[in-house]
Structure 1
């Protein structure tokens, strides 16, 4: 087994194509095919299934060793980064995952400042749902992610406390209040925003003994806001997600204050590369936690 074989296997798994993997690795397709054939021969197992109709699919064992191979390749890159740092250089790649709200609010500033300070370090952004970011971390597809909920399998560095607010039409009977309690929302038609909002809001209502009357659920904040404008219900959303509040809507603080914590997550801080630690340091410097 060789590092090149690992790189080829991982790249095929990520691109779903021998041809695309070869292009990204600057290898011919015969060389890519030979690398996989030799790897499978060395291991005595099939790592992937080739099907002309359905494309390439990893076998069960292929999915399991993919994570291990990514870890090995990350260790190799860690060594290269340490050696480069000893020579006064910073090189390497940081693969970042973030859900849309966090990506829009935090990453442009972090990435811009990071590139200015460390021009030889490459940043690769993957944007997805909160669940996807967690999956990418667990499979080592990314090196660092912006997440909301604590995860026992990940190490967390707190970054930002995002306040939650109630959003409702300004003509609603509750619209003139200075603040709302969860009990005030008991029995009101609520619109849940998927992708990380559901569990905390359900928990809030349960702890308050209030009735959560679920009217609708949507995946996009803009969709939720337009549904509120049409009188379909109320919602609890994060302040960060409300950069542009449509006309006719108001936000009210919740009492007691309700927040969600946005954190930087890595599989292991001890095993994280120098480049990842530099990224985390930059994030904390630019967004000091209140």
Structure 2
């Protein structure tokens, strides 16, 4: 690898991980070597790319510009090499952002056989129900479970699946408050909402081609899907979920599905590519695999 490619590679991993030591471990070099390479790059460019403290590393404005261009160049170089070697030799590190519950119960199990076929590929899972800044967080691929318009519309994206949404509650809650027979009955129940699109206070159902919207009363607000699931299992109210999210609890009887003859608009699962509409070879391979599995 030429000195410039090495500088670019080291800088990108430091910027993406936010840590000199972590980048050093991933690249299998010493931390002083990483610091020296980044310092030499900044000296050659005549500008500061990274602000370093004892605990963290952050990008300057110049660093953010250099990161965007560097990631694009490295992706193109990898794509050229991968096309020569073939997809069976995927290697390197890929950083994937995903929601906690869907990532845990759908994405990671789906990726397990893929990773077994590519032992030289390393994955950094970034799991959060908050929407990350994919560029500044150095994400190669993001999985979005979306309801409504896709917020990351300026990035490249591919729809992977539709996820059925359901209404659910714990048997203990229903034994006290009764089981709703129609969507209108939900107005008399305590509901558990998640901040964001899944937490809308108006739930919209379709039955025999008739659309009904119900204004629900939130008793509990939660900012994560695992929190919604936990609160529902504990009998704190009725919530919206997906089969991917609550399948285990439904199978074991911890939760019961309600209003099965009424349909909610499904959620859409997207793969989003922050680097643009032409992802790297390893990102494309993972997306193709997920599209087939999901």
Counterpart in 2 of 1:44?
Answer: 46
1:244 aligns with 2:249: yes
Question: What residue is the counterpart of 1:122 in the other structure?
Answer: 121
Alignment correspondent of 1:78 = 79
Query: 3-state DSSP class of the match of 2:58?
Result: strand
Distance across 2 between alignment mates of 1:162 and 1:232: 24
Query: Would the alpha carbon gap of residues 95 and 171 (structure 1) be closer, same or farther in structure 2, given more than 3 Å must change?
Result: same
The 3-state SS of whatever aligns with 2:104 is: helix
- TM-score, with normalisation over the residues of structure 1? 0.78
Q: 1:184: which partner in 2?
A: 185
Q: Distance in 2 between matches of 1:144 and 1:244?
A: 29
Query: How many residues are treated as equivalent by the alignment?
Result: 276
| Other-structure match for 1:113 | 113
Deviation for aligned residue 1:144: 2.3
| Cα distance change on mapping 1:235 and 1:29 into 2, 3 Å | closer
Partner residue, 1:67:
68
Question: Which stretch shifts more, 12-21 or 151-160?
Answer: 12-21
Contact 1:229 1:249 (C-alpha < 8 Å) held by counterparts? yes
Q: Which moved more, 1:20-29 or 1:97-106?
A: 20-29
Q: Distance in 2 between matches of 1:66 and 1:165?
A: 41
Q: 1:139 offset after TM fit, Å? A: 4.2
- What is the distance in 2 between the residues matched to 1:269 and 1:208? 39
Q: Name the TM-score, length of structure 2 as normaliser.
A: 0.77
**Aligned-partner Cα distance in 2 for 1:28–1:42:** 21
- Aligned twin of 1:257: 264
Counterpart Cα distance in 1 of 2:29 and 2:230: 49
For residues 164 and 139 of structure 1, what CA distance do their matches in structure 2 show?
Answer: 32
CA distance in 2 between counterparts of 1:233 and 1:148 reads: 23
In structure 1, distance between residues paired with 2:279 and 2:194:
33
Give 3-state SS (helix, strand or coil) of 1:280's partner.
helix
Q: How far apart are the structure 2 equivalents of 1:222 and 1:103?
A: 11
Helix, strand or coil at the partner of 1:171: helix
- In the alignment, the residues of structure 1 paired with residue 13 and residue 144 of structure 2 have an alpha-carbon distance, to the nearest angstrom, of 25
**Which structure 1 segments of 5+ residues have no match?**
none
Contact 1:192–1:216 under 8 Å retained in 2: yes
Q: 1:125 Cα deviation (Å)?
A: 4.1
Distance 1:19 1:225 in 2: 36
| Stretch moving more, 71-80 or 88-97 | 88-97
Change (3 A) 1:30 1:96: closer
Q: Do structure 1's residue 22 and structure 2's residue 24 form an aligned pair?
A: yes
RMSD over aligned CA atoms reads 3.3
- Counterpart residue number, 2:142: 145
Q: Are residues 237 and 172 of structure 1, via their aligned partners in 2, closer, same or farther at CA, if it must alter by over 3 Å?
A: farther
Kept after mapping to 2: 8 A contact 1:190/1:214:
yes
Q: Is the partner of 2:215 in helix, strand or coil?
A: coil
- What are the Cα deviations for residues 19-70 of structure 1, in whole angstroms up to 9, with x where unaligned? 4433432334443333222222222221122334x54332233234323322
